[in-house]
Amino acid sequence: MTLRRLLPDSIAGWTMLVLVAGLILAQFVGFLFYTGHRMETLTALGGRQAADRVAGVVHLAEETPRQNRREVLRSLDMPGLRIVWTQVPRLRRQGEDSLSRMVAATLSERLDDRRLLVSVLEGPPPPPQPLDQAWTQERHHRPWHGVSAPGLIRISVQLSDGSWLNFVAPIDLDQGAIRPRFAGPFLLVVLVVAGFSLWAVSRATRPLARFAAAAERLGVDVAAPPLPESGPREVRRAAHAFNEMQTRLRRYIDDRTQMLAAISHDLRTPITRLRLRAEFVDDDEQRTKMLADLAEMEAMIAATLAFARDDAATEAREPIDLAALCQGLAEDFAMDYDGPETLAAEARPLGLKRALTNLMDNARKYGGDARIVLTAGKAEAVVEIIDSGPGIPPEELDRVFAPFHRVERSRSRETGGVGLGLSVARNILRAHGGDITLSNRPEGGLKATMVLPLAG
């Protein structure tokens, strides 16, 4: 779970991670190949150099008279090439490793297949020390990154007079592969590629961010400006399809609104005629019932038309004092208010007032005592309207937001209108980018929670 939280959760982040990880892995694998071949090459080169030096000393010793040979060899003895002239070889056996065999073959070519022995000590070249210790010491060190670096070569060569020249020479290897002049360019390449990748990935994923923002705007405002149809061909096609979808949705909503407006207009004429005829009914009780039914029909038509037209969605946003609005409505509905004295917000004032009025009217009708609580966060405000009524069944908590759905099944105006109040309130809040939810309180009563973004 901790590793998952550390991993990126965006396309740009994952693309960057894959690119940089792939680059580092490729560089590391290349580095392993480089160091392996480099060590083999330098080791072979060091062995050949040691063989050339030993061959030169052997030729010089052969040409030097025996009585002067020791002085000449002493002058050639130095930390880089230790020389001892003896009657028996200091080495007892030929080394079996590839470097020993290679040096022995090179010396045989240069010294006419003279008898010789070669052995390699594993380890870095030792500091200057007495020659006998160099012959007797068998030093080993832990291989670095799995590569064993030969560091000291010992050679015994028989001269023509039967004596032996014994050599100890460090194999001159270059510095380690990891050096500032290697790590610097490596880090520079990684940083340059990572920076270029970040720019390219950000540019490639920018249209996705625009699509997400456009989809969010479309969810709250179907008349939002269309997406710019620019960029690569695939992006232009997707933007064009999105704009076409938005146009069709807006056309569908406009057609539905016009249809409902026409129906409302056409129905009002026969309703008016029925009201006139009802006035001539002699039975007072029947006349009253008929007029009440006609008034209810007119109210349902007006509410339906207002819901379909959604005037609140076309209202312009402007700065408002949300706390003052809540306090004023609390006084109108005789409710207690708990919250700050002022709270600046950007909203559609008439639509927001209508949503709050619908919620508070429901709380007063069905909940008895009610109060309104306003709390403010950094980016949003939360308005809670809490009543002390019986609440509603849990399965109805979300259904009541459906148009014309009411928990109270009778269609009597005295018991609760036409069932559009909560639908209208939720539509208004969602047009602001917020939402409304209902929940039953454990101690009894219903709580309507309204979340409103403070900025448009």
pTM above 0.75, yes or no: no
Please count the residues of the chain: 456
Give Cβ neighbours of residue 264 (< 8 Å, ≥ 6 apart): 301, 302, 304, 305
Distance between CA atoms of residues 374 and 246, nearest Å: 35
Mean predicted confidence (pLDDT) in 262-290: 82
Q: How confident is the model at residue 374 (pLDDT cuts 50, 70, 90)?
A: very high
The residue-averaged pLDDT of 399-418 equals 61
**pLDDT confidence tier of residue 422, bands split at 50, 70 and 90:** confident
Within 10 angstroms of residue 53's Cβ, the number of other Cβ atoms is: 16
Q: Please report, to the nearest 10 degrees, the dihedral formed by the alpha carbons of residues 181, 182, 185, 189 taken in order.
A: -170
Instruction: Kindly tell me if the per-residue pLDDT of 123 is higher than 60.
Output: no
Q: Mean per-residue pLDDT for 367-391?
A: 89
Torsion of CA 239, 242, 243, 247, to 10 degrees: 170
**Mean pLDDT on 81-107:** 86
- Across 144-158, 170-184, 425-439, which has the greatest mean pLDDT? 425-439
- Which strands make up the sheet holding 435-440, listed edge to edge? 336-338, 370-376, 380-387, 446-453, 435-440
Q: Report percent pLDDT > 70 for the chain.
A: 78
- Domains identified in the chain and CATH numbers: 8-180 (no CATH), 221-309 (1.10.287.130), 316-453 (3.30.565.10)
Which single residue is written with the structure tokens 């309703």? 271
Q: Cite the beta strand spans of 329-423 per DSSP E.
A: 336-338, 344-347, 370-376, 380-387
Across the chain, mean pLDDT equals: 77
pLDDT in the model for residue 149: 36
Range with top average pLDDT, 134-148, 242-256, 433-447 = 433-447
Taking Cα atoms as reference points, which of 175, 167, 77 lies closest to residue 124? 175
| Residue 327 pLDDT greater than 90, yes or no | yes
